Structure 1
């Protein structure tokens, strides 16, 4: 009592699947929760009985200072997950006996999570101390102990122990290994313990001695040593970037984060592979590589060291794919390139010519479109080809240049595309986005807008990104734009800047921005039969053009909201209800004024719904216990007192022999004391009734059952046996 208590389940999965731990209510033999069960810390009539916390990573339950001695029960569900899907679970039940004792539990020193590279030694020091000075016995459990890790206790108080483990390549996996710690005292009173846990992640070693070498045709061959975990690895990922990034991976860091600027360019599907040929090397730039080993469960190794290289100028060097004319049928692209000046002209002696290939889109197939005349000279400066008769308005074209020596194709350039510009209209603004795939690096983009005053495009800004927003425009007025890129290669002989233009692209801004949703409020009480629902607009900027509101309603919480009212006055933000029986859920949206769309039609924009406010009913339905159907105009009918929120009733009235003499579904009842079968007045006396009252509530129709007696007196009919 009034001591810290903890317990760990020490579970692990032999398949390496992820485990999730959950503290759940205790269930009986039928699998249902035991009636009246509460967690032990809520045992004292709903009041506090210490505080139970649960570590879902390690399955450690801790009860901080239980206040009442007794026997308590808890249950822990352990679920097994594989690739994010649950594959099984088991429930562990346990009893906890809380008693008064002077003993204090030991205290573990915290251990951080650690990682270890396969085939390297890991040593973890574990220490604990007992406040009462009792000697401690230390325990360590978990899968590493089943896989050969050695645990040795060195002292008893302060207690210390060490874990030594050299995991093999077979232990590399994505999920960490759970290790459970327990320090238990040797007190004469009941022994107490402290439970903790930490994880060990076994990671794959890096690929070693990555090298690069230049190969014929402008390719680069990467090679590395036999991987030490080749039998366990499933393959390799090869990454490339333009320019070096000599970062060192952090401790326990595996894989290669995209923020480092590398692009995945290829994979090898065997752990025994020791090379990769890059056949798409971008010429003119320093290209750098790293390699990551992969494992069957998705684990990745530490990334390799970086290696960089630059291919010689042995392929044609594309510098320009620029749109010169925008048109659906007569568009023009201008393609420029330099000859491969470092080509061995002793071996390739000419004559020289070039084939130009074109493809539609970034993934289309290349087709030959032109071959230049033969030339005896290779170094003749920049070459140019004007490609006409194109649909440059809608299609992005990609080009490749092949060098021919005496009619034989001997080298191909990297491919390059034009810039494809897209313009997305919005309210008084447009968003420009564009893309291109080129072997050089574009470092700046200039944005041009057509100016009617000068009848030409003028620059309005620049950016290093591939997106630009132009605002403060006039709705329903067409705007046209161009993008010019400036870029070059890292090779100083081809540093540029090379200028390339996109196609012209036009669009018309229009109001397609919905107002901000209102915020909804309610005032009033159900019992007062009066409610006021009102709302306000919170953001003046996005609510400046509000023209009205739509009111939505559902009588319950499970049906969808339906439009019940449209308010065309922006100043009208109040709904009053004074006729009672108001219940259900309400929401409000705002809409703006009608405006012209690009297709000439009129339309407006509706906001998202406001917060939803639900008003619960307060049903009232009460019957009298006496009435006198004597025709004097006073109390002549059996009917309820004024009622609210009642849809219908199922009323049955019986005489003293149990015969049904009246029934109705009408909540007003209005029974005048007549037998339903004979039509005659029943005699004075006491009659029994049952009634089911169907009440309107947020959760739907609620049937409420009642029964009672009615006393009829002063009846003008002759007494009968009814």
Structure 2
């Protein structure tokens, strides 16, 4: 493939293979280290600029740059001209640096490995065989994916040639940073001589053959590792003097909106460590703790370096924030105590004022390097260096929430300052505003590095507004009497991401509307000691409609309490009277959730009007699960009040086996601050006994956030028991039923009730729990529901439930098979229930007459859709029974009375260019109109069914064309 674009600074010469194997080059000894980096020239056209950097042995007269570069896309392999370098610099008397720059355009998206190979490495590298005749090879991977956005490779600011002493810990850091702000990881690899080919006889530097040992543990095996996050390379400690080559990869990771990290490519660096005999120790660097800084504020930090031998120190700082990829006023500065080496100890001043354009999800890294100069005390002594990495997170200022106003019946409008034009930030990067809500106040003060909404604060994300929008309307199930509190957070939506501190909280009460105001349920309190499958009790309590207009809705009030199942309120109340409490008895509080609504009825009310129903409220359920040597508790409930409030943050845990004198008594055991820990608790009792049953309940505290309603609202969970790793599975479910009625009747009824056009289907499953068995026990935590479209197919988990029923919703049809598995609190699974299947109800019928006369009535021969049936004066009920159902494909042929085929047609749902309803116009395949008369057809229909005997059906019939 022809190279699309070559930088004018580089002329490309095509060398013969003989050049690579000439005696002169095979004896050359010059390459110490190197890497390939890339930056984007034109993202849309996939054009990149590559920099090939080589670090050479200045003792060799061979120039770097006669190697070949392969772009990995099938294009021509190029050879560099040593005279066409872009930059050539002497780093020291022994080390030189040479850079070549080449542009290349790739043919399209893909993953490409760019490799550079040149002869030869420098001589006498001790951890490989025959380095003088070993090629030098490095590679870089770039991933071009328009969905992931443009991407440049990392850059490394610290040269890859460093010195170490025998018996002294060696430190190095490459000073890597990513201009795009992606996350980086580091991993060691093996030096290579070609694609996929390690150098001969490679040994890692800590190989026992080199006789190294840790400084603080003589005689032990030396260690050699690279921190995967900071890139700090530590070799503790070199044993044998000489030149060592090592290699590592720096991998880029981009975070997607889903939270997943995907690789964006890598750069491989091949570097050299020169180890000598010496009597020196590296300096020590003291830096502040990692920190966060709000954009548009200034961070100042003192960096201290001390040399244990009191040698002079040169203190340096490296990082992307010092580079010219940022405007000068946004670059950091580092000012050492003076130029060059300074007396120990020495201090440098770090200063940085980032703006909002530098906000990103990943922290910035600043690498500090301290090098000593021991030559003053010994001219032959080897200088050493140490490194420290400082992480700095730039955080956006909090947005300003200006207004929360009740604008309608249970509707709140929020308004905030335009972030892009605010004095706080004034950013030009794309952003979105996240809107959060909770019941009641939570006046948390974010920590220095606490962006967004902290976990456990009970705020729920309720909306998102794109860049530039400054209002939001909240009408999502707001309830009378509750105080709703809002906060907003800015997130940056480009590749670098990042978010702001949360805004100040703004709260509003949902008060009366046109005089109407309901009762508020305050308690759905389970009686824990009566937890049972048939004798449980729940105490329900509610308020009067205290904010209703007494002129319109005069007291005294009477009340009706209803139960709610699957969103449907019961026809008859379970209580009617003037009290505001009721105890519901005879319940299965061990396994079931119970939901209630109450209505207040005034002594006098406007005609045909009632006070509204309260919001539904359910009992709070405790979930218990054992794992290893611990018990994990979690609880929650669908209630209109908040059970995570800063005014009453403590929930109480009760357990048996607390009082050694009465192990059966369930007593107070522990407390949880749910604003910090969330609605969960882990019991790590060191005195746990395997196989013993432990029982718990939780006393929750909640609030409407409204001073007119008592607080805290105390509601308890059921008593839930479990054993630690009991090893005994629960009993398998019995008598699985799908839809509880005749399957054909159920299927046909769906079409009849939905005028032949059910949009989605659902299957209702129910089963019986098995109470006990010889090899199982009834300690079920939940049931898992498995489904397959085929009886012998691959069953997949489609849901879990704590009850003995499940609704499988959103199905394309009714067809499929199910089984149920019970899971206990130790994670044991029961044997599966029997497999029960549900099938579709196929139906197909064709008319006997049509009139293709272009009058708009019955002009085509079609399957009997509802519209066609109704035009035949068939009543609605009969029409709905004759709809075609679950037809996947058909093949129909029409014949004349003499037996000649006049028209054939095939259609399939998988082919959108065909019509499954046929819609024949009475013409031949060649377009000739047929005469009036009787014609015969045969059709093979393929149905979407589980029963393979019903899959394909053949029908014969006749049709009369009338003109």
Normalising by structure 2, report the TM-score. 0.42
Q: Aligned pair 1:171/2:358, yes or no? A: yes
Q: Is the 8 A contact 1:206 1:292 kept in 2?
A: yes
1:118 aligns with one of 280, 295, 311: 295
Whether the aligned pair in 2 keeps the contact of 1:255 and 1:301 (CA below 8 Å) is: yes
The residue number in structure 2 matching 1:518 is none
Question: Conserved in 1, the CA contact under 8 Å of 2:186 and 2:231?
Answer: yes
Determine the C-alpha separation between the residues in 1 that align with 2:633 and 2:558: 39
SS of residue paired to 1:236: strand
Task: Please show how residues 413-428 of structure 1 align to structure 2 within 5 Å.
Answer: 413-418=614-619
Q: 1:178 deviation in Å? A: 2.0
After TM superposition, the structure 1 = structure 2 runs for residues 334-349 of structure 1, keeping only pairs within 5 Å, are 337-345=542-550
Deviation of the 1:268 alpha carbon:
1.9
CA separation in 2, counterparts of 1:482 and 1:391? 16
Q: Which residue of 2 aligns with 1:292?
A: 489
CA contact (8 A) 1:183 1:194 kept: yes
Quote how far apart the aligned CAs of 1:346 are: 5.0
**What residue in structure 2 maps to residue 264 of structure 1?**
460
Query: Of 286, 306, 316, which residue of structure 2 is paired with 1:138?
Result: 316
**Counterparts in 2 of 1:106 and 1:438: CA distance versus 1, 3 Å:** closer
Q: Which of 179, 197, 208 is the aligned partner of 2:400?
A: 208
**198, 203, 220: which one pairs with 2:390?**
198
Q: Hey, what does 2:503 align to over in structure 1?
A: 304
* Correspondent of 1:318 among 521, 524, 529: 521
For residue 495 of structure 1, the aligned residue among 701, 706, 710 is 710
1:365 aligns with 2:365: no
Aligned-pair CA distance for 1:336? 5.9
Q: CA RMSD in A?
A: 5.8
**Shift of residue 38 of structure 1?**
1.8
Distance (whole Å) between structure 2 residues aligned to residue 123 and residue 499 of structure 1: 50
SS at match of 2:448: coil
2:172 equivalent in structure 1? 7
Matched-pair contact (CA < 8 Å) for 1:336–1:382: no
Secondary structure, counterpart of 2:357 in structure 1: helix
Q: The residue matched to 1:201 in structure 2 has which SS?
A: strand
Range 440-449 or range 80-89, more displaced: 440-449
Gaps of 5+ in 1: 375-379, 450-457, 516-596, 609-722
Q: CA deviation at 1:240?
A: 1.8
Q: Alignment partner of 1:79: what SS?
A: strand
- Contact 1:323–1:500 under 8 Å retained in 2: yes
Name the residue aligned to 1:23. Answer: 188
Q: 1:248 aligns with which of 440, 445, 460?
A: 445
CA contact under 8 A between 2:288 and 2:303: conserved in structure 1? Answer: yes
Q: Is the 8 A contact 2:699 2:715 kept in 1?
A: yes
Contact 1:282 1:440 in 2 (8 A): no
* Cα distance change of structure 1 residues 412 and 15 upon mapping to structure 2, 3 Å threshold: farther
Alpha-carbon distance in structure 2 between the residues aligned to 1:168 and 1:213? 33
> What is the CA-CA distance between 1:291 and the residue it aligns to?
3.2
Specify every segment of 5 or more residues in structure 2 that has no aligned partner in the other structure, as ranges: 1-163, 216-221, 256-260, 420-424, 644-649, 657-663, 673-679, 729-769, 778-825, 827-963
Structure with the largest fraction of strand: 1
Q: Note closer, same or farther for the CA distance 1:500–1:198 as it changes in structure 2 (3 Å cut).
A: closer
Residue in 2 aligned with 1:645?
Answer: none
In structure 1, the residue matched to 2:250 is 78
Conserved 8 A contact 1:23-1:76: yes
Q: Does the CA contact (< 8 Å) of 2:252 and 2:264 recur in 1? A: yes
CA deviations on 1:436-491 (whole Å, 9 max, x unpaired) are 43335789999999xxxxxxxx996578899999x99xx9x9xx999999988665
**Match status 1:234 vs 2:470:** no
Written as runs of structure 1 = structure 2, the 5 A alignment for 1:544-555 is: none
Contact preservation (8 Å) 1:40, 1:49: no
Aligned partners of 1:153 and 1:162 also within 8 Å: yes
Distance in 1 between the 2:451 and 2:616 partners?
Answer: 33
Is 2:350 aligned against 1:147? no
Q: Deviations over 1:416-445 (max 9, x none)?
A: 12466899999xxx9999864333578999
Q: Residue deviations 1:544-596, cap 9 Å, x none?
A: xxxxxxxxxxxxxxxxxxxxxxxxxxxxxxxxxxxxxxxxxxxxxxxxxxxxx
Alignment of 1:449-528 (within 5 A): 494-495=709-710, 513-514=726-727
- Is the contact made by 2:335 and 2:350 (CA closer than 8 Å) also made in structure 1? no
Distance 1:116 1:500 in 2: 42
CA distance in structure 2 between the partners assigned to 1:64 and 1:391 by the alignment = 65
Deviation at 1:602, TM superposition (A): 5.2
In 1, are the aligned partners of 2:319 and 2:367 still within 8 Å (CA)? yes
Residue 439, structure 1, aligned to residue 643, structure 2: no
1:599 alignment partner in structure 2: 772
Instruction: Measure the CA separation in 1 of the matches of 2:416 and 2:198.
Output: 60
Preserved CA contact (<8 Å) 2:435 2:486: no
**Structure 1 pair 286/381, CA: closer, same or farther in 2 (3 Å)?**
farther
Instruction: Please say if residues 178 and 320 of structure 2, whose CA atoms lie closer than 8 Å, have aligned partners that are also in contact.
Output: no
| Contact 1:207 1:293 survives alignment (8 Å) | yes
List per-residue Cα deviations over 1:290-313 (Å, max 9, x = no partner).
Answer: 433333366432223334454446
Conserved in 1, the CA contact under 8 Å of 2:187 and 2:249?
Answer: yes
Residue 513 to residue 160, structure 1, CA distance change in 2 (3 Å): closer
Tell me the SS of whatever aligns to 1:369: coil
Partner of 2:890: none
The alpha-carbon deviation at position 238 of structure 1 amounts to: 0.6
Aligned-partner Cα distance in 1 for 2:296–2:453: 22
Distance 2:245 2:349 in 1: 34
SS at match of 2:450: coil
Verify the 8 A CA contact 1:231 1:272 in the aligned structure 2. no
Shift in alpha-carbon separation, 1:232–1:166, aligned structure 2, 3 A: farther
Counterpart of 2:269?
Answer: 92
